[in-house]
Structure 1
Amino acid sequence: MNGPTTAHAPPPRQPLRDRLVDCVLIALAVALALIALQVQTTEPDPLPTGLLVADRLTGLLGCIALWWRRTYPVQIGIALAATSVYSETVTGAAIVALFTVAVHSSIRATATVCAISVAALSTYQLVWPDQSTPPLTVFTMIALGNAATVAWGLTIRNRRALVTSLRERAAAAEVEAQLRAERSEREARETIAREMHDVLGHRLSLLSVHAGALAYARTAPPDDVGRAAEVVRENAHRALQDLRDVIGVLRAPVGELPMPAATDVLQLVEDARATGTEVTLLDDAGLTTGARTIPDVQGRTLYRMVQESLTNARKHAPGAPVTVRITGRPDDVVVAEVTNARPAATPQYPQGSGTGLRGLDERTRLVNGALDHGPTDRGGWRVRLRLPWPT
């Protein structure tokens, strides 16, 4: 088994900027140590030789120890602050160590190191007082110097925390933007899938009806057979063209899919009538003629509802007459209702999957509308759509 990893393991590689900062701070500590050494040589009452040697050796080791100040900030800070009780040349290194603790460690650790530093420096002044400066001034300078060092370190720490927070927010915003783009792309693909279902389902249902008629009426007059074959050919061509359009949209930017409008309901009715379905269109709202307009989303939903209803009527109620009624007024609601009578023949598709109506219900809820469907009292089927009609 591998041994436990220490909490202060150094990083594998330090940035060049950090090492340059370390060199500058070590140079500052060395400069302060040399100043203290120069002051000691001019003292009228020099310290004992043994103490001076210990002082200067401690100052040298303290400056060298600053190279590992990022790895062991609290340990070095405590050690250098404590040695200030007898070493004057280590004071610069102790200040740098206290600054490092304030930048990299907790508030509690910073307060601890600062208290040790103040106590050690005050003890040094009590044992070896400065005869040229009043004691109150010296102790005030010690307290203010340590406080200023801590304040400087905390300022750097808070600034780095702010920069880190801003970077994290920027990274989170980038990830969120990417997720939104992926979600938009997924929604666009779902929209295309619905369009494929609606468009191709409508076309293929027309093909099925006419192909079934050709297979059934083998003894029909040649003119009727020719007309039915022409309808099959035309709708097969349209289905292929619709499929090409959808595939083209998959390769094009989102939003370029040709979308139907409420006025295209007339074409749906004409296509249904061409298959032999008796369709009655009652448009009291004036949307299919262009007398009034409705927003694109509502118009597209209305179109898909009529398209799905006519397709289902051909599948499940062949030969039954269908009524399409559209009512409503602007700044209120638009109501579209498609009703077919009891089928005159056995349905070619006795039971559907319901995918089309579920997709239509989803479309309706996205525009704050309501959709309901079900059998009528006379054995037919009714689909009713209610949409807001903003101007």
Structure 2
Amino acid sequence: MSSAAVVPEHPWLLPGTLTRPTTTVRRTPRDWFVDGLCFLLALGWAVLAFHDSVGPEPEFAVNVGPSWLNEIDLVLGVSVSAALWLRRRWPVALAVASLPLALFSVNAGVALLILLFTVLVHRPLPIGAALVGVHLLTTPIYTMIRPDPVLPFWATMAWTLLFIGAVVAWALFVRARRQLVWSLRERADRAEAEQQLRVAQARQLERTRIAREMHDVLAHRISLLSLHAGALEFRPDAPAEEVAKAAGVIRASAHAALQDLREVIGVLRAEPGGAETATPERPQPTLGDVPALVAESRAAGVRVGVVDAVADAAAVPPAVGRSVYRIVQEGLTNARKHAPGALVSIQLAGRPGDGLAVEIRNPWPVGEPAAPVIPGTGTGLVGVAERVSLAGGRLEHGRDATGDFRLAAWLPWPAS
């Protein structure tokens, strides 16, 4: 399966290529104006030069020579002027085909300069330089065939070289300006694309962050759900009040878990949109929500002891308080999963400038658990470690010297 070569829209941006666009680009109103102006200038010069050659004072004419040559020169000049309408498509071909006229034609002089200008602007520099060199070589021959009636040979040569040099300088200026404009436009397009990429990456990171938050919440709620369901399974003869209470907790936990799951799926499926279409994010937990979290676990039958030695809980930064909440939540979830029935102790301590320390400890389980183990993804502690690391803190977890499982973290709390 063959594929067509990609041709740049502006080949003059690539000095080493001779490839031209294979598709015809429609002229803009500005192009029509410029092409019409070039045609009128070239045609006007051809008519003016022929008129001077047959005027009452031919000794002052710029078109000196036999009458038959002047008539042929007029036809050639008008023909090359008309061919300027094709210069955008075949500039090099027209410039090469009209090169012989540079030896003797006065009427085609302006048209030849316009073709030379077009090649220098729109085609690779080596081609333009070659055409300029050929024009310079034809200058002495032209001056001998068409001598000026007033100026000497070297003066005529100097004026001709001056005109060619002015056209070359103007063409190089236009070329450099177009390259600069195209480079700035390409840089702006690249910057816009990079900005869109950064926005997309930031949106994806935000979705990932929210998904991790929801993972912590879901793991906590589902562990509570499993704990109550396990109690009902192993105590079918429990009093009706306890069964109703446990069923109510199961229903509430299932409803909350379903709501959290719906939110995380909505976040992951949401398409990029404006701020007016985005749903507001629910308030994030802080250090003040830890007692409610502990009360929820106690209601599920978990024995939890809390020692709160935080100097000024209201002054804890929201980001630090949210991290402490997630650490306590993960510690309680792990205790319910791996050490059901064990006493969980939580210690909070800290002050501004010293940082905030949190420690969750529970006895290491002995033997196999009687109830089925609550399944988990095994990434909870990994997420907590990443959270603490991003906050600039430290995290330790594992079995300590006393045989208990210990989850401890320290988070920076700058002094106000």
TM-score (norm 2): 0.82
**Does the aligned pair in 2 maintain the 1:285–1:329 contact within 8 Å?**
yes
Within the candidate set 219, 223, 232, 1:201 is matched to 219
Tell me whether 1:51 sits opposite 2:76 in the alignment. no
Aligned partners of 2:113 and 2:164 also within 8 Å: yes
Q: Which amino acid aligns with 1:318?
A: P
Q: Distance in 2 between matches of 1:242 and 1:350?
A: 19
Residue 315, structure 1, aligned to residue 337, structure 2: yes
Deviation at 1:332, TM superposition (A): 4.8
Answer with 30-39 or 10-19: which moved more: 10-19
**In the alignment, which residue of structure 2 is the partner of 1:299?**
321
Q: Which one-letter code corresponds to 2:309 in the other structure? A: D
Q: Structure 2 matches for 1:263-342, cutoff 5 A?
A: 263-286=288-311, 290-294=313-317, 296-342=318-364
Provide the C-alpha distance between the structure 1 equivalents of 2:314 and 2:28, rounded to a whole number of angstroms: 74
What does 1:134-283 correspond to in 2, within 5 Å? 134-243=152-261, 253=278, 256-283=281-308
Pair 1:14-2:26 in alignment: yes
Bigger mean CA deviation after superposition, 93-102 or 49-58: 49-58
Pair 1:30 & 2:43 matched: yes
- Preserved contact between residue 311 and residue 351 of structure 2 (Cα < 8 Å): no
User: Does structure 2 conserve the Cα–Cα contact (< 8 Å) formed by 1:301 and 1:363?
Assistant: yes
What amino acid maps onto 1:362 in structure 2? Answer: E
Q: Distance in 2 between the 1:165 and 1:329 partners? A: 56
CA distance in 2, matches of 1:343, 1:15: 82
Q: Structure 2: how far apart are the matches of 1:366 and 1:54?
A: 85
Contact 1:319 1:345 in 2 (8 A): no
Q: 2:384 aligns with which of 360, 363, 368?
A: 360
Residue 365 to residue 58, structure 1, CA distance change in 2 (3 Å)? farther
Deviation at 1:89, TM superposition (A): 0.8
* CA–CA distance in structure 2, aligned partners of residues 246 and 9 of structure 1: 51
Alignment RMSD, CA only? Answer: 3.0
Q: What's the CA shift for 1:86? A: 0.8
Gaps of 5+ in 1: none
Distance 2:83 2:266 in 1: 69
Q: Which runs of 5+ in 2 are unaligned?
A: 6-17, 271-276
- What code does the residue aligned with 1:389 have? W
Q: What displacement does 1:20 show?
A: 3.6
Q: Does 1:98 align with 2:116?
A: yes
Q: For 1:286 and 1:8, how far apart are their aligned partners in 2? A: 76
The alignment covers a number of residue pairs equal to 387
- Give TM-score, length-normalised by structure 1: 0.87
Q: Does 1:386 align with 2:410?
A: yes
Q: Is the 8 A contact 1:317 1:345 kept in 2?
A: no
Name the CA shift for 1:308/1:74 in 2 (closer, same or farther; >3 Å).
same
Q: Please state how far the C-alpha of 1:7 moved relative to its aligned partner.
A: 4.1
Cα distance change of structure 1 residues 304 and 117 upon mapping to structure 2, 3 Å threshold: same
Q: In the alignment, which residue of structure 2 is the partner of 1:64? A: 82
Alpha-carbon distance between aligned partners in 2 of 1:199 and 1:350, rounded to the nearest angstrom: 15
Aligned match of 2:148? 130
Secondary structure of 1:385's counterpart equals: strand
Q: Is the 8 A contact 1:364 1:370 kept in 2?
A: yes
For the 8 Å contact 1:80–1:94, the answer to whether it is kept is: yes
In the aligned structure 1, how far is the partner of 2:153 from the partner of 2:310? 97
What is the one-letter code of the residue matched to 2:218? Answer: L
